[in-house]
Amino acid sequence: MSRLVRRPMAVLRWKGELPESFVYEGRSHQVQWVLDEWWEMGDWWRAGRDRRVVRVWTHDDACMDLECEDGVWRVYRIWD
């Protein structure tokens, strides 16, 4: 199960083009592993933009999908 949150996060440190550590809802998270990465197409009929999605596993055993759209990173989904 998962829940869709799509809320902003603050990136603290980068590893290449991807967040290595970030703050979400006042808690600091460190990425342990990048599990997957893909692009999702925007709604072409609404001139939507493509976005990058990265599934990560954090140091506190959370599995999250992070998204980047127009250079802004958000926590997109949290997996149980």
Please list the pLDDT of the chain residue by residue as tens digits (80 residues).
999 999 999 999 999 999 999 999 999 999 999 999 999 987 777 767 899 999 999 999 999 999 999 899 999 999 99
User: Residues 52, 45: contact at Cβ < 8 Å?
Assistant: no
What's the pLDDT score for residue 44? 74
Joined together, the tokens standing for residue 39 give 């692009």
Number of domains, the chain: 1
What's the pLDDT score for residue 23? 98
What's the pLDDT score for residue 49? 83
- Which residues form the domain of 23? 2-79
